[in-house]
C-alpha cells in the first residue's frame, strides 16, 4: 500500500529489464514528474541511466550506443511521436512502457512503425500518478469542474489515474461515494466501468476484507484549504508553494544563487523526513540544533593540524558537504517562513481562523475579523480567507454580516476579482452544495461533542482544526459511516470493518489532510489509508480551483 | 535482583552472564534466547528489567556486532522508564509492497504483427540482393552492352514500354526527348531524371553487409558515387531500390559500429565490477587485522589494498577519458553528448566517494604487532574470567541441587516439555553436535530454573552427586568431548587448508562458505572446552 514504492518498483523493473549498458530514459511531460517524484537523479544514475529526454523534444540526437527505456502515457499524440521515432530510431533498442492501458490498435501502429525491429518490449506499468509520499498521491490537476459537472477530459484523466493507483497496488475495491456530489457519483461509475470492462486485469488474489475506494468532493469541506498551516510541509506549501517536491525561493530577499530553487524530499533529506509533520515551534528549535551541530562540525573541520585531522576531514567530507547543503537549505526556508509570519501577522490571523473553524462564538469572531481587516499588516489574501471562512461558518446565522465584511474588503482596496472569489468560495462550499456535516451541527451527538471540545483546553490553538476527512474515515472504520450519505456503488456491501482504503478527493486535498491521514494510520491498528486528490492545494491554488469552476457564470 | 547488582559492580563479570543464574554465554543473542527460554515464565517485571539490562549492555558492548541484537524492541530499553503508550497503527513511511504492481505485456502481439510485415520486407530485400549479386558477379562482361541487356532482362522481367506512358515518379510524358529507362533491380520504368546509378563499390558493400553482417569501414554513398556512364561500371536503378539498399546498409553498419565511448564505458564497468568484488574481501581482511586477529597476514591485506587502489585509479582515469572524449577535436559536441558524459563522470565520482573514501585504512606494521598482543592478552583474560564464572556456577548449581530435590524434578519436567515445544533458535549447529548441545541446553535450563530466588552460593557440591536423570548427561558430555577432541581439530585443520587453496584460486564464494564453516567449528570447539573444564 505504498504508492511511492509502487512507482519506484515499476521504474526499477524497467531499468532491470532493459539490461546492462548505457541507457536513456525517454518520457513525456507527465511521466517525467511521476519518475522524478520517486527517484533522485543520483539514484537513477547508479543504474546506468545517464540521459533523460522528452519524447516531444525536437532535434534529439541519434545515439545508437544507448538503450532506450521509453515510459509514456498512452495518449494519441504520444503514440504518433513514438511511431515516428521508431521509423527512424535514434537509439539502439527500445523498451516501451505505458503508464496505463494501451489499445490494441495503438500496439498495431507501433508494430507497423517498427520496421527496423528495434522494439524489445511493450508493457503496461500502471504508475500513472504522482506519488507524493507513501500514503498520498495526486494528478496535479487544478480545475476539475465546469459548474457542477466534470470537465470531460479531466474526468478521463482522473479515472485513468485512479484505476492505475488501484492496479499498482493490486486492489480491486468496493466503491463508496459522497452522495451529495454529482461528480463523485459520476467518477465512481466511470471507475466501475473501467474495472468491469477489463475485469481480467483487476482479478487479484482475494483478501479477507475487500478494499474500499471512497470518493469524496472538496465541496464537502471547503474550510480546510482556507486555513493557514503550521506544520512544516503544509506551511511551506502554503507560504512558498511546493511543486513536485521543488520550492521556488527566487523571490526570497537576499537568497544566494544556488538556493533559488531547492528540493524537499523525505527520501533524500533526513532532516526533512524527521520534521515533515512537526509544527513551526518545533522546527525552529530543530533548526537551531542543526545549526549548532553544524557549527561544531565545521569548527572541528577548520583545525586541520595533524595528518589524522586531515584524514578525518577527507573521510567526513561527503557527509559534511551533504550536511552543509541541508543546513543552508532549511535555514533559508525557515527564515523566510518566519519573516512572512512576522510581516503578515500570521499568528493572529491564524488564531482567528482556527476560532472560526472550531469554536462558535459569532460576535467575538466578527469583532476580531473586523480588527484584522483594519490592520494593514494583514495581506489581502488573508483578509479574503477570513471573510470566506466567516461566510461559510455563519452562513445561516441570524446576525450574519458577510455583506458588511465584503464592504470592508472593498474599502481595503481588495480587487473585484478577489471579492468575487470570496463569494464563489461561499457558494462552492456553502450548505447547499456541501451535503456534509462540516461544522457538526446536524446531529445532536456531534453538537455535544463540539461543545465539550470547546470546554477542554486545546493543546495548540493554531492547530486545533481537524479536517472533516479524519472524521469521515474514522466513522468508516468504525462502521458508522451513513449509508445514505455515502452509498455503495452496486448492491454488494462490506460486512466487516474495512482494512485497506483509498480515499480520493475530487477538487484536491491539502497537506493538513495528508498529516491527518498519517495520524489516522498511526493511531488505528490494522488499517491502511491512502489519500489521493486531483491536486494538493494551498489557498492560492484553491482559489484557482474555485474560479475555474466558474460558478458565477450561468451554467 | 541481587545477582544483577553484582554483575554491575564486579568488573570480573564482563562476559554475557545471565543475571538470574550467572551462566556465561558467548554472545548477547545466545544469552537473550536463554533468558527467554529458561526464565520466560517468570515474573514479567523481572523480565522487563532484564530487558532493560540488555538495553544498557547494548551501549557498553560496541566491539561485538551482533545482528540479532536489533530484536530487542526499542521501547523496552532503558530500565524502569515509564513505558510510552505505543501507537497501535503503522507509519505509512514503513509500508512495504510485497510485489510489483500489476502489469500487462503487449510484446507478443506486437511481434506477431511486426513479423508478418517484416517477412514481406525481408523477402523484398532478399530479392533485391540476389538480383544485385547476379548482376554484378555473373553474366557477360560489363562492356558487352547488347549481351548484357539480354542477360539483365533474364534476371528481372522488364516492364513493357507500351504499358507505361508517363514517368511514375515525375509524371512527365515519355517521348523522343524523354526516354524510358528500366531499373535493373526491379524492372520498372522511369525517366532519366528520376533514375540513379549505383557504383560497384556500393553494391559490393551491400552484398558484403548482407552476407557477413559486417561492413568495411570505408563508406561510399550512392549519391557521391560516380554517376557518369562509362567512367566506372554502374547500374541504373530506380530511387525506390536505392533507398531500400541505403537504409539497409545504414542499419547494418550502425548495428555493428562500436564508438569509442562504448569501448571505454565497457572497460569502466568491468573495472567497477572488479572493485565491487574485491571490496568486501579487503574489508574483511582489514577489520580482522584491526581487531588484532592473525587469520590473515599483513602482507596480504596490503596487497589487496594496493590492488583496490589501482582499480580506483583506473576507474577515475577511464571516466575522465570519457568525459573529455571528443572535446579536443574541432566538431563541438551536442548538449546531449555532453550531458551523457557529465552524468557518467558524476556517477563515477559518487562511486569513488562512497567506496574509496570509506576504505578502512590499514595500521602500520608496528601497530599490528601491538594490536595482536593486546588481543592475546584480552583473550587470556576472558578465558580466566570464564573459568571463574564457571566455577561459581557449578557451585551454585550444586547448592541448588542439594537444596531442592523435589522442586528440581518438577522443573525438569517443565523444561523438557518446553524443549520439545520450542524449536532451536538462531544458533547454527553441525548435525553431529546437535544431540550433545541439546543435552547441554537441557541441563542448563533445568539448572537455571532452579536458580530462581537463590542469592547466595557457598557450599561446595559435585554434579556427580545428583541422582538419576542428571548423571548420564554429564557423563556423556565428558565422554563425547574426550572422543571428539581430536576429530574436531582435524576437521578444522582440513578446512583451513581448503580455505587457503580457495583463497589462492580466488574463489570467493567458497572462501566465504568455508570461513563460515570454520567459525562454526571453532565455536563448537570452544563450547566443548568450556564444558570439559
- Round to whole Å and give the CA distance between B207 and B217: 14
| Mean pLDDT on A386-393 | 93
Chain B residues in contact with A113 by the CB 8 A cut-off are none
* Low-confidence residues in chain B, pLDDT < 50: 1-14, 40-85, 213-231, 422-436, 438-440, 442-443, 445-484
Q: What is the pLDDT of residue A301?
A: 63
Give the integer Cα–Cα distance in Å for A336 and A240.
Answer: 9
Q: Do the beta carbons of residue A82 and residue A72 sit within 8 Å?
A: yes
- Residue A292 clears pLDDT 60, i.e. is over it: yes
Q: Which CATH architecture has domain A132-223+465-549?
A: 3-Layer(aba) Sandwich (3.40)
Is B343 within the bounds of a domain? yes
Domain residues for the domain of B140 are 107-256
Neighbours of A186 (CB within 10 A): 17
Question: Tens digits of per-residue pLDDT, A162-188?
Answer: 999 999 999 999 999 999 999 999 999
Whether B244 and B297 share a structural domain: no
Out of A20, A102, A116, closest to residue B251 by CB: A116
Q: What is the DSSP string of A151-166?
A: -HHHHHHHHHHHHHHH
Higher pLDDT, A419 or B521: A419
For chain A, the structural domain boundaries read 3-126, 132-223+465-549, 232-343, 360-446
Q: Do A528 and B87 touch (CB under 8 A)?
A: no
Determine the distance from the C-alpha atom of residue B401 to the mean position of all C-alpha atoms in its chain, rounded to a whole number.
53
B141 with B271, same domain? no
* pLDDT score, position A238: 94
Does A37 contact B at CB distance below 8 Å? Answer: no
Q: Of the given ranges (A96-110, A394-408, B309-323, B408-422), which has the lowest mean pLDDT?
A: B408-422
Give pLDDT, residue B7: 40
Tell me, yes or no, if A172 comes closer than 8 A to chain B by beta carbon: no
B374 domain residue, yes or no: no
**What does the pLDDT read at residue B44?**
45
For residues B66 and B163, membership in a common domain is answered with no
Asked if residues A531 and A505 have their Cβ atoms less than 8 Å apart, the reply is yes
Where does the pLDDT of residue A396 fall: very low under 50, low under 70, confident under 90, or very high at 90 and above? confident
Which residue does chain A place closest to B122, by CA atoms?
A115
Q: What is the CB neighbour count within 10 angstroms for residue B180?
A: 16
Cβ of A518 and B101 within 8 Å? Answer: no
**B25 and B134 share one domain:** no
What is the rounded average pLDDT of the residues A505-513? Answer: 95
> For residue B252, is it within any domain?
yes
Model confidence over B353-385: pLDDT tens digits?
Answer: 888 776 777 777 788 888 888 888 888 899 999
**Count of CB atoms situated within 10 Å of the CB of A95:** 22
A120-160, pLDDT tens digit by residue? 999 999 999 999 999 999 999 998 888 888 989 999 999 99
Reported as type and span, the H/E element at residue A212 is: strand A212-217
Residue B341, C-alpha cell as written in the block: 558524459
Higher per-residue confidence, B259 vs A403: A403
B345 and B273 within one domain: yes
Q: What is the bridge-based pairing of β-strands B24-25 and B16-17?
A: antiparallel
Same CATH topology for A3-126 and A132-223+465-549: the answer is yes
Do residues B231 and B145 share a domain? yes
Domains in chain B: how many in total? Answer: 3
Per-residue pLDDT at A212: 94
Q: In this predicted structure, what is the pLDDT of residue A252? A: 85
Quick one: pLDDT at residue B133?
Answer: 84
Is the interface score ipTM higher than 0.85?
no
Let me know the angle formed at the C-alpha of B289 by B288 and B293, rounded to the nearest 5 degrees.
70
In tens, the pLDDT along A111-122 reads 999 988 899 999
Measure the CA–CA gap between A23 and A44, rounded to whole angstroms: 10
The predicted-structure confidence for A190-235, as pLDDT tens digits, reads as follows 999 999 999 999 988 888 888 999 999 999 999 999 999 999 999 9
User: How confident is the model at residue A511, as a pLDDT?
Assistant: 96
With cell 503487449, the residue in question is B106
Whether B440 is covered by a domain: the verdict is no
Whether B114 sits inside 8 A of A42 (CB atoms) is no
**Are B242 and B189 in a shared domain?**
yes
The minimum CA-CA distance between B453 and chain A, rounded to whole Å, is 39
> What CATH topology corresponds to A3-126?
Rossmann fold (3.40.50)
Average pLDDT, chain A: 88
The CATH number of residue B215's host domain is: 3.30.40.10
Report the gap between the CA of B105 and the closest CA in chain A (Å): 4
pLDDT, tens digit, 9 for 90 and up, residues A303-341: 666 666 666 666 666 666 677 778 888 888 998 998 999
* B512 in a structural domain: no
Task: Give residue B223's pLDDT.
Answer: 42
Predicted pLDDT at B195: 83
In a domain, residue B382? The reply is: no
B216 and B112 in a common domain: yes
State how far the alpha carbon of A469 is from the alpha carbons of A114, A358, A359, B522, in Å: 49, 15, 18, 61
Are the C-beta atoms of B178 and B171 separated by less than 8 Å? no
* Reported CATH class of domain A232-343: alpha beta
Contact A169 B101 (CB under 8 A): yes
**Residues with Cβ < 8 Å from A17, sequence gap 6 or more?**
A95, A121
Q: Half-sphere exposure (CA, 13 Å, Cβ side) for A519? A: 15
C-beta separation of A516 from A119 below 8 A? no
Amino acid at each position: 500500500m505504498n504508492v511511492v514504492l509502487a512507482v519506484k518498483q515499476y521504474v526499477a523493473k524497467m531499468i532491470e529489464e532493459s539490461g546492462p549498458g548505457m541507457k536513456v530514459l525517454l518520457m513525456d511531460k507527465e511521466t517525467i514528474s511521476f519518475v522524478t517524484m520517486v527517484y533522485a537523479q543520483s539514484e537513477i544514475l547508479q543504474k546506468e541511466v545517464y540521459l533523460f529526454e522528452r519524447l516531444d523534444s525536437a532535434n534529439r540526437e541519434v545515439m545508437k550506443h544507448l538503450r532506450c527505456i521509453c515510459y509514456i502515457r498512452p495518449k494519441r499524440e504520444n503514440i504518433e511521436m513514438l511511431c515516428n521515432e521508431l521509423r527512424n530510431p535514434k537509439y539502439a533498442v527500445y523498451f516501451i512502457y505505458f503508464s496505463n492501458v494501451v489499445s490494441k490498435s495503438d500496439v498495431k501502429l507501433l508494430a507497423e512503425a517498427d520496421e527496423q525491429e528495434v522494439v524489445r518490449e511493450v508493457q503496461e506499468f500502471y504508475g500513472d500518478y504522482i506519488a507524493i509520499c507513501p500514503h498520498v498521491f495526486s494528478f496535479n490537476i487544478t480545475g476539475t469542474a465546469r459548474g457542477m459537472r466534470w470537465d470531460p477530459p479531466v474526468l478521463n484523466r482522473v479515472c485513468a489515474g485512479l484505476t492505475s493507483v488501484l492496479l499498482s497496488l493490486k486492489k480491486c475495491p468496493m466503491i463508496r461515494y459522497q452522495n451529495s456530489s454529482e461528480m463523485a457519483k459520476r467518477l465512481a461509475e466511470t471507475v466501475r466501468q473501467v474495472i468491469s470492462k477489463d475485469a481480467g486485469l483487476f482479478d487479484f488474489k482475494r483478501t479477507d476484507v475487500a478494499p474500499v475506494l471512497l470518493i469524496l468532493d472538496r465541496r464537502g469541506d471547503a474550510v480546510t484549504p482556507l486555513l493557514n498551516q503550521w506544520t512544516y510541509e503544509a506551511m511551506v506549501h502554503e507560504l512558498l508553494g511546493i511543486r513536485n517536491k521543488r520550492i521556488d525561493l527566487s523571490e526570497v530577499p537576499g537568497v544566494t544563487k544556488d538556493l533559488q530553487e531547492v528540493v524537499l524530499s523525505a527520501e533524500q533529506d533526513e532532516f526533512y523526513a524527521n520534521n515533515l509533520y512537526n509544527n513551526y515551534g518545533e522546527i525552529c528549535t530543530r533548526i537551531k540544533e542543526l545549526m549548532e551541530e553544524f557549527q561544531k562540525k565545521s569548527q572541528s573541520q577548520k583545525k586541520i593540524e595533524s595528518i589524522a585531522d586531515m584524514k578525518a576531514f577527507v573521510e567526513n567530507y561527503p557527509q559534511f558537504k551533504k550536511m552543509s547543503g541541508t543546513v543552508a537549505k532549511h535555514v533559508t526556508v525557515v527564515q523566510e517562513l518566519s519573516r512572512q509570519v512576522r510581516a503578515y501577522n500570521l499568528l493572529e490571523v491564524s488564531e482567528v481562523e482556527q476560532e472560526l473553524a472550531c469554536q462558535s462564538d459569532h460576535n467575538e469572531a466578527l469583532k476580531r475579523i473586523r480588527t484584522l481587516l483594519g490592520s494593514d499588516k494583514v495581506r489581502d489574501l488573508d483578509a479574503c480567507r477570513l471573510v470566506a471562512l466567516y461566510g461559510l461558518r455563519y452562513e445561516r446565522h441570524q446576525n450574519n454580516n458577510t455583506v458588511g465584511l465584503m464592504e470592508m474588503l472593498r474599502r481595503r482596496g481588495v480587487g473585484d476579482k478577489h471579492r468575487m472569489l470570496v463569494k464563489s468560495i461561499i457558494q462552492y462550499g456553502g450548505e447547499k452544495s456541501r451535503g456534509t456535516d462540516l461544522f457538526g451541527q446536524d446531529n445532536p451527538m456531534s453538537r455535544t461533542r463540539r461543545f465539550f471540545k470547546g470546554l477542554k483546553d486545546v493543546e495548540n490553538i493554531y492547530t486545533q482544526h481537524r479536517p472533516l476527512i479524519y472524521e469521515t474515515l474514522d466513522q468508516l472504520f468504525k462502521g458508522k459511516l451513513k449509508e445514505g450519505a455515502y452509498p455503495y456503488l452496486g448492491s454488494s456491501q462490506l460486512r466487516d470493518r474495512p482494512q485497506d482504503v483509498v480515499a480520493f478527493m475530487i477538487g484536491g486535498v491539502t497537506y493538513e489532510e495528508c498529516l491527518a491521514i498519517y495520524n489516522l494510520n498511526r493511531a488505528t491498528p490494522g488499517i491502511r489509508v491512502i489519500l489521493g486528490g486531483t491536486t494538493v492545494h494551498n489557498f492560492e491554488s484553491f482559489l484557482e480551483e474555485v474560479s475555474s469552476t466558474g460558478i458565477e457564470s450561468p451554467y | 535482583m541481587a545477582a544483577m547488582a553484582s554483575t554491575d559492580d564486579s568488573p570480573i563479570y564482563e562476559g554475557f552472564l545471565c543475571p538470574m543464574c550467572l551462566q556465561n554465554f558467548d554472545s548477547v543473542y545466545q544469552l537473550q534466547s536463554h533468558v527467554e527460554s529458561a526464565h520466560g515464565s517468570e515474573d514479567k517485571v523481572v523480565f522487563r528489567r532484564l530487558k532493560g539490562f540488555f538495553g544498557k549492555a547494548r551501549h557498553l558492548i560496541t566491539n561485538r556486532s551482533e545482528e540479532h541484537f536489533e530484536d530487542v524492541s526499542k521501547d523496552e530499553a532503558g530500565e524502569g522508564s515509564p513505558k510510552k503508550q505505543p501507537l497501535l497503527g503503522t507509519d505509512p513511511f514503513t509500508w512495504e509492497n510485497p510485489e510489483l504492481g500489476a502489469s500487462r505485456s503487449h510484446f507478443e502481439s506486437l511481434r506477431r504483427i511486426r513479423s508478418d510485415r517484416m517477412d514481406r520486407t525481408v523477402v523484398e530485400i532478399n530479392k533485391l540482393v540476389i538480383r544485385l549479386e547476379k548482376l554484378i558477379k555473373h553474366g557477360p562482361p560489363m562492356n558487352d552492352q547488347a549481351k548484357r541487356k539480354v542477360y539483365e532482362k533474364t534476371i528481372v522481367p522488364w516492364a513493357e514500354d507500351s504499358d507505361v506512358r508517363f514517368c511514375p515518379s515525375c509524371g512527365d510524358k515519355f517521348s523522343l526527348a524523354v526516354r524510358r529507362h528500366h531499373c535493373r533491380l526491379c524492372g520498372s520504368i522511369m525517366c532519366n531524371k528520376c533514375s540513379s546509378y549505383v557504383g560497384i563499390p556500393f553494391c559490393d558493400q551491400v552484398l558484403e553487409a548482407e552476407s557477413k553482417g559486417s561492413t568495411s569501414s570505408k563508406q561510399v554513398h550512392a549519391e557521391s558515387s560516380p554517376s557518369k556512364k562509362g567512367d566506372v561500371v554502374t547500374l541504373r536503378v530506380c530511387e525506390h531500390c536505392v533507398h531500400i539498399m541505403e537504409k539497409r546498409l545504414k542499419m547494418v553498419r550502425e548495428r555493428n559500429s562500436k564508438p569509442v565511448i562504448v569501448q571505454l564505458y565497457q572497460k569502466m564497468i568491468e573495472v567497477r565490477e572488479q572493485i565491487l568484488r574485491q571490496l568486501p574481501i579487503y574489508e574483511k581482511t582489514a577489520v580482522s587485522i584491526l581487531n588484532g586477529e592473525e587469520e590473515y597476514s599483513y602482507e596480504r591485506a596490503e596487497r589487496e589494498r594496493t590492488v583496490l587502489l589501482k582499480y580506483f585509479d583506473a576507474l577515475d582515469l577511464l571516466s575522465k577519458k570519457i568525459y573529455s572524449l571528443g572535446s579536443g577535436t574541432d566538431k563541438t559536441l551536442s548538449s546531449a553528448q555532453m550531458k551523457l558524459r557529465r552524468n557518467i563522470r558524476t556517477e563515477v565520482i559518487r562511486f569513488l566517494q562512497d567506496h574509496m573514501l570509506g576504505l578502512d585504512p590499514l595500521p602500520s606494521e608496528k601497530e599490528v604487532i601491538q594490536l595482536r598482543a593486546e588481543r592475546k592478552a584480552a583473550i587470556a583474560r576472558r578465558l580466566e574470567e570464564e573459568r571463574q564464572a564457571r566455577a561459581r556456577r557449578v557451585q551454585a548449581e550444586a547448592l541448588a541441587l542439594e537444596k531442592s530435590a523435589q522442586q528440581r524434578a518438577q522443573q525438569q519436567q517443565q523444561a523438557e516439555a518446553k524443549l520439545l515445544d520450542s524449536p532451536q533458535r538462531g544458533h547454527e549447529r553441525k548435525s553431529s553436535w546437535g544431540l550433545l548441545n541439546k543435552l547441554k541446553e537441557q541441563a542448563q535450563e533445568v539448572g537455571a530454573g532452579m536458580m530462581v530466588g537463590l542469592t547466595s552460593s557457598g557450599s561446595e557440591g559435585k554434579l556427580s552427586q545428583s541422582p538419576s536423570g542428571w548423571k548420564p548427561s554429564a557423563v556423556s558430555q565428558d565422554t563425547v568431548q574426550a572422543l571428539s577432541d581430536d576429530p574436531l581439530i582435524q576437521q578444522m585443520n582440513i578446512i583451513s587448508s581448503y580455505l587457503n587453496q580457495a583463497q589462492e584460486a580466488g574463489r570467493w564464494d567458497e572462501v566465504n562458505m568455508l570461513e563460515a564453516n570454520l567459525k562454526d567449528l571453532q565455536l563448537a570447539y570452544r563450547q566443548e572446552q568450556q564444558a570439559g573444564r
